[in-house]
Structure 1
Amino acid sequence: MPVFDSPYTIPDGVPRDVSIWHYLFDPTHPSYCHRPTHSTSTTSFIDGTTGESLTYDQVRSHCETVSTVLATDYGMGRGDVACLFGRNTLWYPIALWSTLRVGGVISGASPAYTVGEMTYALKTAGAKFIFTTPESLPVALEAASAAGVAKDHIFLLEGSGEGTSHLTVEGLIKKGEGRKIVGPWTIPKNSSNDKELGFLSFSSGTTGLPKGVMISHGNVIGQSRQMRFMNKTVEGESVVGCLPLFHITGLVQLLHVPVQDSFPVVMMPSFEMKSFLDIVTKYKVTNLMLVPPIMIRLARDPIVNRYDLSFVKRFQSGAAPLSEEIISIFRKRWPKAGLWQGYGMTETTSCVTSVPTWHQLPPTPADGSVGHLCPDTSIKIISEDGQELGHDQPGELWVRGPQVVMGYLNNEKANRETWVDGWMRTGDQAEISSQGGWVFIRDRIKDMIKVKGVAVAPAELEDLLLGHPLVEDCAVTGVPDDYAGELPRAFIRLTSSAASSSTPSDHERTLIKYVEEKKSRPKHLRGGVIFVDEIPKSASGKILKRVLRDKYADVPVKQRVEEGVAEKAKL
């Protein structure tokens, strides 16, 4: 009955008596994180666009002031949910930790939400407060009205606040100047931090309505300590904050881990290639934590050739597997920089696996791997018939560890389906190598295409297609077929040069033939090729295949004569 345990353990384990606030900002607490530097004047966050910055001391002081105002003037307390609805700003972490300091709960929301989506998020979370940005304020106001959030409980993360009745975070700081600071909320004596809710994050919703994921104080502290072990950050390192802070990766890897380990985050409000490159080179950012769409752009966009990125120490990618072609380009272009992939999800507070930064990956057997199991993490690989599998055998990945969350909010059906005897079912197909314990993610089980009973992994075909010079980006899904059950269908975003040359039918024939020459028959694109302007993705970079399937559901499979059918017809 194989259970695979991480070869690593968290030094001193995960303390259970400490809240996130005390862990990060109270040096007198026995379970304080012990930041690597004794200086509290080091910069924690920099606005890459304006150059404005906040030191660790300023972050702590501002949070004490803002939390005091929120508690005394607006009644915020234990269990009250504040929704952070906006793009990355310097004041996002102030709103977040101010809420946690008085026992509140943070629920992040995408700034791309419509009024309907935002209303659903507010109602599901039971939010009482909203922090937003000026451009998102109209949506926030309409959704707040529908969800019953008081108008005076809506604050702005940035901006002047002129023309509105809504205080900004800086306005809350000014309002609280000179006041006696209220004491911080602490973990109750009859409880522990793995039982105390800190965050409500919404799953990607790639297969339906997003579910509210309950993340405890202990989950975030546990994952932060796991990352301290795996990353081994040294003085002088920094990270770019271009991934959204409402997403689990941004929440943990761009807010909590940098403060814990004392390295600055250079914030970006949104991603645009030129501004990204300008900011990275201006601040000589050493660690680029990205997602596959950005990695693909870095590998292929000609604008990158204008910039010297030789100072970058490591590229880190998650959310979806990188193709072998993209990995090869990075290794050739930046041979001195590390390239690591990790694997995780909202339900595991970010990472299940990561490549230790001190480990130099050999070409084999680890290339394409998402790394080793994080400290104190265990997994099982389960077959379709429920059997536990061994090394080098693909099956569903089940996980157990301090980073695995409390469950889904008010969704017992999903909880029963996802948690089995203390193990969390990820829904991802994976295998663990007998050579070094490297973990490989093959695909989402729900996305697997069954062609005459043969399982075809879309990621394998996507990897192949991304290596073709016609293809800028792609996605592969299954399309129903009366004869085969399902057939692979490719959605292709052409390169700019390919889009302006030849005809779509020529490109379709080229790509179909390309796959036929390199893959077995079940993997051939007999569901056809559809050319699109954009491959829809979530904020974390995951392909939204449900969107593609729904949009093009009525496009028929082209009629093709199956092998042997024509001969039988003649007889």
Structure 2
Amino acid sequence: MTMDGTVVVPGTTMGAQWVDDVLLAGDASDVCFSLPAPIDRSMLRRLVRDRQSELADSGLRPGGAAALRLPPSMAFITHLLAVWRSGGQAILLDHRLTDYEVRRAIERLVPQVVVSPERPVPSGLRTFVEVDTAVASYSGHPASTAHAVVQLSSGSTGPSKVIGRTAEDLVEEVLRYTQIDGVPQRGERIILLPSMVHVLGLVGGLMYGLHAGVTLVPPARLTGDAILQAIASGSAPATVLGVPFHIGLLASVNEPPVLPQFKRMTTGGELVPASVAKAFEQKFQVPLGNMYGMTEVGVIGTDLFGRHRPEIQPAPGIEVRAVDGELQIRRPESPYLGLSDPSRWADGWLRTKDAGVVDPETGLVSIKGRLDSQVSVGGLKVDLTEVEYTIGTLRGVEAAVVVFDGAITAYLQLNERRDIARIEAELAQRLASYKRPRSVRILDQLPRTTTGKLVRDVTVLRKAAP
């Protein structure tokens, strides 16, 4: 209970202290964002205080919850920091969710306020927008958990899960980033491509950038040329932070200019095939680093210099083990809201559902793909991840998804015109007959989640295929 008698959920962070100390500290003149107009720390603090006052007027109380249904924008950033600075819980809802999905989330989580764009957000390729906001007040009660942030998983292989993380957990991850070799340093820039609603953009981009004094630079549009223009817009070293989908955008630039500021690209989400990584590094002459993580944990392991590909080094403070071929992460408490599912978390260990091994000598982790990618064909075990990886080595294949729907089916996205019969002939030289797809389907664009991950739902893929 606070001095004014407000009841606070035990464990919920109260007041401004952790936000001010970890995210907003520093010289007032430090530039936090280049949009392209600079936003310095002094201006950011003022905007956050203004949002905090508006949220309080709309009914947000310490220990309460606010749902943010906003696109990447200064409105999203300032409202998020204002909620936390108020001692509240931020429920992050991707602005691209349907009204039905948003309604279900609000009915379950019962926020005191919901912040949305005042008008529909124009569709297009913009990565950062300007929006006016509307704040709707609800008769919500204090947050039912002590989590500072509540997120929905991306749902690339099934329904979304509701995941909560405490302020202490978020701060631990921010500090974990500072101990990883190869992350951007004070005075450098991050070209920010992933959405800040999801963990890579939220912690690896926004929160780490604010803490470390790194300027965040969203490109004007989500195109290869615009990304390169963002790199060229300043003289400080720049790291491009994105997901494998964004590699394709950069690869679409035929003759990229010489950019001495371009330090590296770091991708999260799915592992990047070796052939794609090699082509990228040859084209841009910078390392392509990889990060492995989950919404439930944040960053788990990295290889920011591309030295160990496809292996990764566990991040500082992260304990990984392999049990019966499945990677598990030590996690003292379940990250899921509601009843704990022992198939996802039990006895202090989070089950990733990823197949992998941990080298007992080096500690390096090899990720072998999803456990649900193991299928039986004629009594013989086939790892669909292996099939997918092999297809990805073929010339012209930009992305591939391999599923089992009674038979092995491959869905391909190409970056050059290729004959299916020729692709199948090349696969016949690389894969045993029982591993080869019975059907190969070529799509102009493979379906992806809002975070850029390839969708593996058979029904969605069938609908997308010609």
Q: TM-score, normalised by structure 1?
A: 0.71
Superposed CA deviations along residues 239-267 of structure 1, whole A, max 9, x for unmatched, are: 01221111111111111111111111012
Which residue identity is paired with 2:326?
A: E
Which residue identity is paired with 1:407?
A: P
Other-structure match for 2:160:
210
Q: Secondary structure of 1:398's partner?
A: strand
**Superposition pairs of residues 393-408 of structure 1, within 5 angstroms:** 395-401=325-331, 406-408=334-336
- Percent identity between the aligned chains? 19
C-alpha distance in 1 between matches for 2:283 and 2:224: 18
Which residue identity is paired with 1:221?
A: V
The question of whether the paired residues in 2 share the 8 Å contact of 1:89 and 1:268 is answered with: no
Other-structure match for 1:376:
317
Other-structure match for 1:345:
294
Task: Label 1:61 to 1:554 Cα distance change in 2 as closer, same or farther (>3 A).
Answer: closer
The question of whether the paired residues in 1 share the 8 Å contact of 2:268 and 2:292 is answered with: yes
The question of whether the paired residues in 2 share the 8 Å contact of 1:407 and 1:415 is answered with: no
Aligned match of 1:316 in 241, 259, 266?
A: 266
Superposed CA deviations along residues 146-175 of structure 1, whole A, max 9, x for unmatched, are: xxxxxxxxxxx94467xxxx479xxxxxxx
Which residue identity is paired with 1:218?
A: E
Note the C-alpha offset of 1:423.
0.4
Rg bigger for which structure?
A: 1
Aligned match of 2:430 in 518, 521, 529?
A: 518
Other-structure match for 2:185:
234
The question of whether the paired residues in 1 share the 8 Å contact of 2:268 and 2:291 is answered with: yes
Superposed CA deviations along residues 262-306 of structure 1, whole A, max 9, x for unmatched, are: 11101247623332222222235611111011113323x1x2524
The question of whether the paired residues in 2 share the 8 Å contact of 1:477 and 1:490 is answered with: yes
Match status 1:296 vs 2:216: no
Structure 2 residue ranges without an equivalent (≥5): 1-10, 124-128, 137-144
The question of whether the paired residues in 1 share the 8 Å contact of 2:334 and 2:345 is answered with: no
Q: Secondary structure of 1:45's partner?
A: strand
Other-structure match for 2:454:
543
Task: Label 1:294 to 1:455 Cα distance change in 2 as closer, same or farther (>3 A).
Answer: farther
Note the C-alpha offset of 1:405.
6.6
Which residue identity is paired with 1:427?
A: K
C-alpha distance in 2 between matches for 1:60 and 1:361: 37
C-alpha distance in 2 between matches for 1:74 and 1:261: 32
Which residue identity is paired with 1:408?
A: Y
The question of whether the paired residues in 1 share the 8 Å contact of 2:196 and 2:205 is answered with: yes
The question of whether the paired residues in 2 share the 8 Å contact of 1:215 and 1:405 is answered with: no
Q: Secondary structure of 1:464's partner?
A: helix
C-alpha distance in 1 between matches for 2:15 and 2:184: 20
Superposed CA deviations along residues 113-132 of structure 1, whole A, max 9, x for unmatched, are: 22222222322332332223
C-alpha distance in 1 between matches for 2:81 and 2:178: 20
Other-structure match for 1:58:
43
Q: Secondary structure of 1:536's partner?
A: coil
Aligned match of 2:197 in 240, 246, 254?
A: 246
Between 96-105 and 304-313, the greater mean CA deviation after superposition: 304-313
Note the C-alpha offset of 1:536.
0.9
Other-structure match for 1:330:
280
Which residue identity is paired with 2:31?
A: T
**Superposition pairs of residues 406-555 of structure 1, within 5 angstroms:** 406-410=334-338, 412=339, 415-434=341-360, 436-480=362-406, 487-498=407-418, 507-526=419-438, 528-546=439-457, 548-552=458-462
Q: Secondary structure of 1:294's partner?
A: helix
- Paired residues, number: 440
Note the C-alpha offset of 1:488.
2.0
Note the C-alpha offset of 1:98.
0.4
C-alpha distance in 2 between matches for 1:406 and 1:224: 20
C-alpha distance in 1 between matches for 2:63 and 2:52: 14
C-alpha distance in 1 between matches for 2:447 and 2:15: 35
Match status 1:367 vs 2:309: yes
Aligned match of 1:97 in 56, 81, 104?
A: 81
The question of whether the paired residues in 2 share the 8 Å contact of 1:449 and 1:477 is answered with: no
The question of whether the paired residues in 2 share the 8 Å contact of 1:201 and 1:212 is answered with: yes
Note the C-alpha offset of 1:516.
1.6
Note the C-alpha offset of 1:206.
2.8
The question of whether the paired residues in 1 share the 8 Å contact of 2:162 and 2:337 is answered with: yes
Task: Label 1:227 to 1:204 Cα distance change in 2 as closer, same or farther (>3 A).
Answer: same
Q: Secondary structure of 2:262's partner?
A: coil
Identify the structure with bigger relative contact order (alpha carbons < 8 Å, sequence gap 6+): 1
The question of whether the paired residues in 2 share the 8 Å contact of 1:45 and 1:90 is answered with: no
Q: Secondary structure of 2:34's partner?
A: strand
Note the C-alpha offset of 1:308.
2.6
Q: Secondary structure of 1:343's partner?
A: strand
Task: Label 1:75 to 1:271 Cα distance change in 2 as closer, same or farther (>3 A).
Answer: same
Other-structure match for 1:183:
none
Between 77-86 and 265-274, the greater mean CA deviation after superposition: 265-274
C-alpha distance in 2 between matches for 1:119 and 1:514: 49
Note the C-alpha offset of 1:326.
0.9
